[in-house]
């Protein structure tokens, strides 16, 4: 039987990265791991609204190029119903407008090591919003997950000692949690879409970019970044808002188990902390790591009970560490 080339294991690869889908997931994970540092560094050279407009416009251009490459531009000419445009306008208002506005404000007000894990609480809001909007029951295990994750938020916010607490910006904390809540709401509304993912993302971002432009003009802050601020804004537009979504969508539609693909993304906050410490130069507090561990443990509690790919990867690492072992091919 002929095998699909995307599923043929390759020598010299990690045991969980031998398919095209998993490789795409790992690439997206790495790219998303870099953006927390990019946010913090870029906001040191440009204000929030300037970065927001430049990054959003850049991502819109990237998505247009992707549609052109994939031969999907003709789908933009399809006569959608007015309610489709209305929904895209709503989704565009949520993401990129409000979501990134609050996220950038949180990074502007907080150390990156605080803003990044606080934003990662969004799956908890997803559970709560699903109960309210979709009438889904919140079972006992879900309440445990919520409790563990919010314990992580408390540890991150208040566990850094008196010196850190004295400098804590509660507006920044509110913005970080607000952006997480908006992403959860966006996720729920986006689940009910049946249009092509890249096409609808482009239309959503077209509306969102328009809203951002109006916001910047109304606030009297219209400006374009220069120097490092421009480079950082372009990087965010390409690798946070733009091409990485395309890579991630390709991973999800690769035929690889969605559960395995989804587990990989939980590496993002931990890799981000490493980069925040090495690239941004922040001293990572132990409470930040402990709090983040609680947040991710709460979110992935079901997966942790099942182990899955973690055990497979751990076994590979054990074999690699054995002295005298033959070189892994």
pLDDT tens across 201-237, in order?
999 999 999 999 999 988 877 778 889 999 999 999 9
Look at residue 79 and tell me if it is in a domain: yes
Does pLDDT of 6 surpass 70?
no
Q: Can you list the alpha helix ranges (DSSP code H) found in the chain?
A: 20-42, 48-70, 82-92, 99-109, 112-119, 122-133, 140-158, 161-166, 170-191, 197-218, 227-236, 243-252, 258-264, 268-275, 286-299, 301-306, 309-321
Look at residue 13 and tell me if it is in a domain: no
Which of the two residues, 162 and 283, has the higher pLDDT score?
Answer: 283
pLDDT at 224: 83
Look at residue 328 and tell me if it is in a domain: no
Lowest mean pLDDT across 35-44, 117-126, 320-329: 320-329
The residue behind tokens 């095998």 is 3
Look at residue 329 and tell me if it is in a domain: no
pLDDT confidence tier of residue 279, bands split at 50, 70 and 90: very high
Count CB-CB contacts under 10 A for residue 329.
Answer: 5
pLDDT confidence tier of residue 316, bands split at 50, 70 and 90: very low
Residue 121: both structure tokens together: 């609480």
Burial class (CB in 10 A: 0-12, 13-18, 19+), 220: exposed
Burial class (CB in 10 A: 0-12, 13-18, 19+), 187: middle
Which of the two residues, 288 and 239, has the higher pLDDT score?
Answer: 239
Question: Does the model's pTM come out above 0.85?
Answer: no
The residue behind tokens 């939980």 is 266
The total of structural domains in the chain comes to 1
Residue 256: both structure tokens together: 């690889």
Expressed as residue numbers, the domain containing 173 is: 19-316
Distance (Å, whole) CA 80 – CA 198: 15
Lowest mean pLDDT across 158-162, 177-181, 291-295, 311-315: 311-315
Residue 54: both structure tokens together: 């430049």
Look at residue 73 and tell me if it is in a domain: yes
Residue 61: both structure tokens together: 């251009």
pLDDT confidence tier of residue 312, bands split at 50, 70 and 90: very low
Look at residue 128 and tell me if it is in a domain: yes
Look at residue 278 and tell me if it is in a domain: yes
Look at residue 3 and tell me if it is in a domain: no
Tell me phi and psi for residue 198, to 5 degrees: -70, -40
| Section 297-323 average pLDDT | 50
Lowest mean pLDDT across 45-49, 99-103, 131-135, 260-264: 260-264
């Amino acid at each position: 039987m002929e095998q699909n080339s995307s599923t043929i294991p390759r020598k010299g690869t990690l045991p969980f990265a031998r398919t095209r889908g998993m490789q795409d997931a790992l690439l997206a994970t790495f790219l998303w791991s870099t953006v927390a540092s990019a946010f913090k560094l870029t906001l040191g050279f440009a204000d929030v609204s300037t970065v927001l407009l430049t990054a959003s416009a850049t991502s819109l251009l990237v998505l247009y190029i992707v549609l052109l490459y994939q031969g999907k531009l003709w789908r933009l000419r399809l006569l959608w119903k007015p309610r489709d445009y209305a929904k895209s306008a709503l989704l565009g208002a949520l993401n990129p407008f409000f979501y990134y506005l609050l996220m950038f404000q949180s990074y502007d007000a907080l150390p990156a090591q605080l803003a990044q894990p606080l934003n990662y609480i969004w799956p908890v809001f997803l559970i709560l919003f699903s109960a309210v909007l979709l009438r889904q029951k919140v079972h006992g295990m879900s309440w445990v997950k919520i409790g563990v994750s919010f314990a992580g938020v408390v540890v991150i916010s208040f566990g850094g000692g008196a010196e850190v607490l004295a400098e804590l910006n509660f507006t920044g904390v509110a913005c970080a949690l607000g952006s997480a809540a908006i992403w959860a709401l966006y996720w729920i509304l986006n689940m009910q879409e049946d249009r092509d993912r890249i096409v609808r993302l482009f239309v959503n971002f077209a509306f969102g970019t328009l809203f951002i432009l109006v916001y910047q003009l109304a606030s009297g802050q219209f400006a374009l970044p220069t120097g490092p601020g421009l480079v950082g804004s372009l990087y965010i537009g390409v690798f946070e808002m733009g091409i990485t979504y395309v890579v991630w969508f390709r991973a999800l539609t690769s035929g690889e188990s969605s559960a395995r693909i989804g587990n990989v993304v939980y590496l993002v906050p931990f890799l981000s902390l490493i980069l925040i410490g090495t690239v941004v130069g922040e001293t990572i507090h132990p409470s930040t790591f402990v709090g983040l561990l609680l947040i991710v443990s709460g979110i992935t509690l079901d997966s942790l009970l099942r182990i899955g790919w973690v055990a497979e990867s751990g076994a590979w690492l054990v074999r690699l560490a054995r002295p005298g072992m033959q070189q892994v091919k």
